[in-house]
Amino acid sequence: MSLVAFAILAGLILAGALVVVFSSNIVRAAVALAFTFFLIAGLYFMLGSPMLAVVQFAVNAAAIPILTLFIIMMTRSRSVRPASGIFVLVALAVVIAFAGGLWAYLGAAETQVFPVSPEGIGLRLLSVTLFPFEVASVLLLLAMVGAIVLARRVEE
């Protein structure tokens, strides 16, 4: 039962990702990206971490594609030109090698999922990983300031 659900979910995720990569219409690609991320949030639900799922939903599935759409609008780009054929073949070879290389390590057969409560993550986040947490906040601040500075029109 759950395997069926997983299969459907995984299939849709992969399909969405493929659309992102292969669609020549960039708006569709962005929508597919949102769709893929939305389904990945479902994956996190299955992994017993609603917290992660909702964060994935709010940030990756909602905010980031909207930002992407915004940029698409601002730069008035619509279509994606494909790369030259030879390069596509090279990339394909690399990708296959990559997937194959990763495949070699995929023998894990654990079956039991340990769910995690939001409180657990929160406590953990603010105790052991407090320093990375603070660093992340600084990173976000820097990103914010950096984005403003970069995107600001320089007035002559």
Backbone angles phi, psi at 14, to 5 degrees: -65, -40
How far, in Å, are 26, 33, 110, 155 from residue 9 at the CA level? 23, 14, 20, 49
Q: How far is the CB of 4 from another protein (least distance, A)?
A: 10
Binding to another protein by CB under 8 A, coded x per residue (else -) over 10-49, reads x--xx--xx-xx---xxxxxxx-xx-xx--x--xx-xxxx
Closer residue to another protein in complex, CB, 64/155: 64
Q: How far is the CB of 131 from another protein (least distance, A)?
A: 12
Shortest reach from residue 137's CB to another protein, in Å? 9
Ranges of H-type helices in 47-152: 50-55, 64-75, 85-103, 118-127, 130-151
What's the closest the beta carbon of residue 156 comes to another protein, in angstroms?
A: 13
> How many residues belong to the site for another protein (CB under 8 A)?
108
Q: By CB under 8 A, is residue 155 in contact with another protein?
A: no
The residues with which 25 forms a beta bridge, in sequence order, are: 79
Q: Kindly state the DSSP code that residue 24 receives in the 8-state scheme.
A: S
Contact between 144 and another protein per CB under 8 A:
yes
| Least separation in angstroms between CB 139 and another protein | 5
Structure token digits, residue 44:
């996190």
CA atoms within 13 A on the CB side of 76: 0
Ranges within 101-140 binding another protein (CB under 8 A): 101-103, 105-118, 120-121, 124-125, 128-129, 132, 136, 139-140
Q: Which of 86, 99, 155, 156 binds another protein (CB under 8 A)?
A: 99
